[in-house]
Amino acid sequence: MEKKTEQWSDKKIQRRTFFSFAGFLLASVGGWFSWKWFSGLPPTNNRLPELTRDVLSFNERIKDKFFSHKHLAKTYPKARAARKPRLNGFIGIKDDIDTEKWRLEVVSPTGKPSIYFQLKDIQALPKEEIIFDFKCIEGWDQIVHYSGIKFSDFLNKYKLGKKEGTNEWYKYVGLETPDAKYYVGLDIESVLHPQTLLCFEVNNQPLPKLHGAPLRLIIPVKYGVKNLKRIGKMYFSDTPPRDYWHEYGYDYDVTL
């Protein structure tokens, strides 16, 4: 009885050895043939650029994930958001504001008259929300829940931010409070980032005055300083717009 099992297992081992060796042979021969096929393709063959393009765009995707403005900030479940988000920085928002009379002024880069938007023009776009870790350069952070519209949707819908008659974006966007006391400059890549929002709600409620009513910027790829509250004016340029904290020596970019 014991003898028999031993014989069987010997046979099994032999069979396995044979198959794995055959598999190895097949793989090598297959590999050699596909290499022959690939390298032997005439340069005019359409399949060749297609294959290399696949590899290139794969590399591109990896690069974008780790090194570009396109990476997404981490998001959290709503339950993690602060019920009473911290308030910080009140430059340009201390005066009272009549949100009915408020308008967002968008300055024409070519000297035409400004365009003025009401809140309802902004709220006409698809609503988006984000729950993310808001980080202030002073050293605190907090998970917050904001809603608004994508900045990119706003620009695309109202055809703003591109050079006249072209498909080319201006390199920067400038934002200022209505009294021009606080102002920031933003690179266009960060403005067009899918998580960059023009917000009118926090925790599903209209923005309180000190969080930037009626409209504030939420730009999760940057530190708090760039998240301008109470936007009054927007403009476009190819040179870096003036930036309040940069004038006090902070890094212009403050990308996280």
Ligand X SMILES: Nc1nc2c(c(=O)[nH]1)N[C@H]1C(S)=C(S)[C@@H](COP(=O)(O)O)O[C@H]1N2
Question: Counting contacts by CB under 6 A, is residue 26 touching ligand X?
Answer: no
Question: Counting contacts by CB under 5 A, is residue 136 touching Mo ion?
Answer: yes
Q: What is the x/- site pattern for ligand X, positions 70-99, by CB under 6 A?
A: ---------------xxxxxxxxx------
Question: Counting contacts by CB under 6 A, is residue 237 touching ligand X?
Answer: no
Question: Counting contacts by CB under 6 A, is residue 150 touching ligand X?
Answer: no
**In this structure, are residues 81 and 203 in contact, taking their beta carbons and an 8 Å threshold?**
yes
CB of 52 to ligand X, least distance (A): 46
Question: Counting contacts by CB under 6 A, is residue 227 touching ligand X?
Answer: yes
Binding residue count for ligand X, defined by CB under 6 A: 19
Q: Please give the helix or strand (H or E) that residue 15 lies within, else none.
A: helix 2-40
Q: Is the dihedral of CA 148, 99, 141, 218 positive or negative?
A: positive
Residue from the set 228, 235, 243, 246 that interacts with ligand X by CB under 6 A: 228
Three-class SS state of 33: helix
For residues 34 and 28, give the distance between their C-alpha atoms in angstroms, rounded to a whole number.
10
Question: Counting contacts by CB under 6 A, is residue 229 touching ligand X?
Answer: yes
Structure tokens at 33: 């043939």
Residue from the set 224, 232, 243, 254 that interacts with ligand X by CB under 6 A: 224
For residues 236 and 191, give the distance between their C-alpha atoms in angstroms, rounded to a whole number.
11
Q: Segment contacting ligand X (CB under 6 A): 26-34, 148-156, 188-196, 224-232?
A: 224-232
Which of 66, 248 has the CB closer to ligand X?
A: 248
Which of 169, 215 has the CB closer to ligand X?
A: 215
Those residues with Cβ within 8 angstroms of residue 215's Cβ, 6 or more apart along the chain or in another chain:
102, 104, 119, 122, 148, 198, 199, 200, 207, 230, 231
**Residue closest to 217 by CA, chosen among 169, 158, 175:** 175
CB of 138 to Mo ion, least distance (A): 5
CB of 37 to ligand X, least distance (A): 59
Question: Counting contacts by CB under 6 A, is residue 207 touching ligand X?
Answer: no
Question: Counting contacts by CB under 5 A, is residue 224 touching Mo ion?
Answer: yes
Q: Is the dihedral of CA 53, 55, 61, 67 positive or negative?
A: negative
CA angle 202, 203, 207 (to 5 degrees): 25
Cβ-proximal residue to ligand X, closest one:
89
Site for ligand X in 96-115 (CB under 6 A): none
